[in-house]
Amino acid sequence: MKADLFAGISGLFLSIVVWLISASFPVFAVSKAGPAYYPRAIALIFGLACLGLIFQTLKKKEAGNPMTGYLWLRLAVIVGILIAYYFCIRSLGYFFSTFFAGIALAMYVFQKFTVRNLLLSTANAVIICVSIYFIFTILLKAPLPRGLLF
Amino acid sequence: MELVFNAIITIFQPINFSLTLLGVLIGTLFGAIPGLTATLAIALLSPLTFNMDPISSMLLLLGIYAGGMYGGSITAITIRAPGAPANAAVVDDGYALTLQGKGGVAIGISNVAGVVGGLFSCIAMIFLSPLLAKFALMFGPAEYFSVTLFGLTAVFAVSGKSFIKGVFSALLGLLLATVGYDPILPFSRFNFGIAPLSRGLSFLPAVIGMFAFAEVIRLVLEYKEEEQQMVKVDRVVPNLQEFKESFRFMIRGGIIGVLIGILPGAGGTIASYVSYGDVRRNARHPELVGKGSLEAIAGPESANNAVSGGAMIPMLTLGIPGDSVTAVLLGAMMIQGIQPGPLLFKQHLDVVYPIFAGMILSNVSLLFIGMLVVKPISRIALIKKPLLISFLMIFGVIGSFASSNSIFDVLVAICFGVLGFFMDRFDFPIAPTVLAMILGPLLENSLRQAMITSNGSPLIFFTKPISVVFLAIALITSLSMIYRERKQAKPLPSGF
């Protein structure tokens, strides 16, 4: 399967990177088990496991990738919404970004732009925003992300 | 005796009592929504507990744990949609009973069985934990390394369809756990010049990402607009005859659940299927199993709930979680400053006893809350999925921020969400990664301490009897999994 092969190759690459980076770690005078010892040992075993995964995948030669183009597109949109929410919350703060992210995601999932769906999404976003504010700020005295717009 | 008395007073303080009930209610709600699990509920709600007293926070989380294990059976019985994989064993019989107009009784039996199994596992936990903790006091770094390695091996050996993918997931978790400060020297590894990475990848945002965000992505990708039918639920409380008919399997399920729960990796799904097999073989009316047998509801549900107490035993006594729920619980405990392990039983019995008492209270209150909320919860399937997805995303973002008031942790959670989604999509088990992330520091610490003690000789792991035994078990577990896969035997269902 393509995904397994990709995972195997990426993992192998990661283990090589970990091995190389840990070469620059300081040496421990008391024992050879310094800061590089454990990551290198894990990277070595991980590399071998990745080779095993690659070998197994090539041997089985199973076809098929459960991700279609449409699913990739939806994945890109949802991850895009999450990342946009992250940047908004960083700069604008909790209320504004949470309210709009809540509506945007719900409307995207509904797939149909109707007034009913919009009202449902808006009401849902308001309830979530206020509830989280009440629980965190009023009840638990825990801070929420702050930004330009409160 | 005074400690026991104090523990009882502590859990019945109004705030603690209310939090336990609230936890059971939230857990039942989360458990009942297909796709949402007790692990997800605990991961999402852990940040809420950081400002609480450690005992209060544990009571809330234990309540969620107990409720979450039971909640999934309600929708499994009423609409054939198990809230969690562990509740799938009751789908056939539960739905058949619903079609016969006995769905309410089936849920009632599931509730009573869950409580019996849960209480049974609490008793086992109370008696076995101190013994295991006493035994664990003999452990040095070499023994700890071998036990941790065994725990990790057992998890990846049974948690997926492919052994190599399980190994891949566990090793990926171990590598991710090496980011941040070295456990012995003041040296930060793999931080790539990014300041927040110096303290390592925070566990809770990673778990929120792998469970909540991965679930958000999966729900969005698989969303189809469909109207769920409202199911009418009749009498919920079983009569004496129905209770007597299924009681035998509640006890048998409880024993199976505790034994399987103690084993690392073998969670509720395996326990409930093993118990289902037991019911098929030993039921009074085996011809009814699969077609609406109350015994086939009682056994698996009792086993599923009994896993909780069993899984708590290695978590509390060794600091080694047996599954992803206890891994998240362990993470929450450590943030609260409670370090599970044998010393907890020597130095902090004031924490241990309220945990025991809290587990009992959670299970007892499940009996009442579980019965009361059946009718509202059976309507839960009517909630519009887009609204639920939106709630999960927002709560996930705020939860990951609140874990250490760091906006960087939100980014960590998003990255882990994408990773978790792909792992789940391509059949790489997530549980070994989560467990490896929490066990990684313990494994590294014990390995390096043992190596320092032995002047760098790895022979230390083969000269200590306890260490040798656990290494041998780890090896046998791995080899048997490879053998099973080679023989193309039917793999065990995922425990998470």
Predicted local confidence at residue B330, as pLDDT: 87
User: Is the predicted pLDDT of residue B133 greater than 90, yes or no?
Assistant: no
The reply to whether B492 falls in a domain is no
The reply to whether B496 falls in a domain is no
User: Is the predicted pLDDT of residue A17 greater than 90, yes or no?
Assistant: yes
User: Is the predicted pLDDT of residue A124 greater than 70, yes or no?
Assistant: yes
Pick from A11-25, A56-70, B384-398, B461-475: least confident? A56-70
B280 CB near a chain A CB, below 8 Å? no
User: Is the predicted pLDDT of residue B168 greater than 90, yes or no?
Assistant: yes
The reply to whether B92 falls in a domain is yes
Predicted local confidence at residue B159, as pLDDT: 63
The reply to whether B493 falls in a domain is no
Predicted local confidence at residue A81, as pLDDT: 93
Q: What is the mean pLDDT of residues B232-247?
A: 82
| φ, ψ (nearest 5 deg) of residue B155 | -70, -50
The reply to whether B70 falls in a domain is yes
What is the distance between the alpha carbons of residues B274 and B409, in angstroms, rounded to a whole number? 39
Q: What percent of chain B has pLDDT over 70?
A: 94
Q: Minimal Cα distance from A1: which residue of B? A: B426
Torsional sign, CA B351, B353, B357, B362:
positive
Q: Minimal Cα distance from B448: which residue of A? A: A33
Q: Pick the residue with more confidence: B25 or B348? A: B25
Domain of residue B336, residue span: 2-486
The reply to whether B280 falls in a domain is yes
| φ, ψ (nearest 5 deg) of residue B227 | -90, 125
Q: What is the mean pLDDT of residues B202-221?
A: 88
Q: What is the mean pLDDT of residues A50-65?
A: 80
What is the distance between the alpha carbons of residues B58 and B333, in angstroms, rounded to a whole number? 7
Residues of B in contact with A4 (CB under 8 A): 165, 426
User: Cα distance from A27 to chain B (closest Cα, Å)?
Assistant: 10
Predicted local confidence at residue B265, as pLDDT: 64
Residues of B in contact with A94 (CB under 8 A): 398
The reply to whether B454 falls in a domain is yes
What does the DSSP 8-state code read for residue A35? T
Which among A127-131, B33-37, B185-189 has the top mean pLDDT? A127-131
Mean pLDDT, all residues of chain B: 85
A126 CB near a chain B CB, below 8 Å? no
Partner residue opposite A128 with nearest CB, options B48, B172, B391: B391
The reply to whether B491 falls in a domain is no
Which among A41-55, A105-119, B135-149, B242-256 has the top mean pLDDT? A41-55
B216 CB near a chain A CB, below 8 Å? yes
Pick from A113-117, B204-208, B233-237, B330-334: least confident? B233-237
Q: Pick the residue with more confidence: B22 or B265? A: B22
Q: What is the mean pLDDT of residues B66-83?
A: 82
Domain count, chain B: 1
User: Is the predicted pLDDT of residue B263 greater than 80, yes or no?
Assistant: no
User: How does DSSP assign B319-378, residue by residue?
Assistant: S--SSHHHHHHHHHHHHTT---SHHHHHH-HHHHHHHHHHHHHHHHHHHHHHHHTHHHHT
Strands B180-181 and B188-189: antiparallel
Q: What is the mean pLDDT of residues B391-407?
A: 87
Contacts with A130 (C-beta within 8 Å, 6 or more apart), sequence order: none
Matching residue, tokens 């849960």: B118
Q: Please report which helix (H) or strand (E) contains residue B268, including its range.
A: helix B268-282
Per-residue pLDDT band at A60 (split at 50, 70, 90): confident
Q: What is the mean pLDDT of residues B323-337?
A: 84
Q: Is the ipTM of this complex over 0.90?
A: yes
Predicted local confidence at residue B495, as pLDDT: 44
Q: Do B172 and A128 touch (CB under 8 A)?
A: no
Q: Do B398 and A94 touch (CB under 8 A)?
A: yes
Segment B296-321, tens digit of pLDDT: 999 999 999 998 888 888 888 888 88
Predicted local confidence at residue B496, as pLDDT: 43
Q: What is the mean pLDDT of residues B452-473?
A: 89
Q: Minimal Cα distance from A81: which residue of B? A: B393
**Which B residues, 392 through 421, put their C-beta within 8 Å of a C-beta on chain A?**
393-395, 397-398, 401-402, 405, 407, 410-411, 414, 417-418, 421
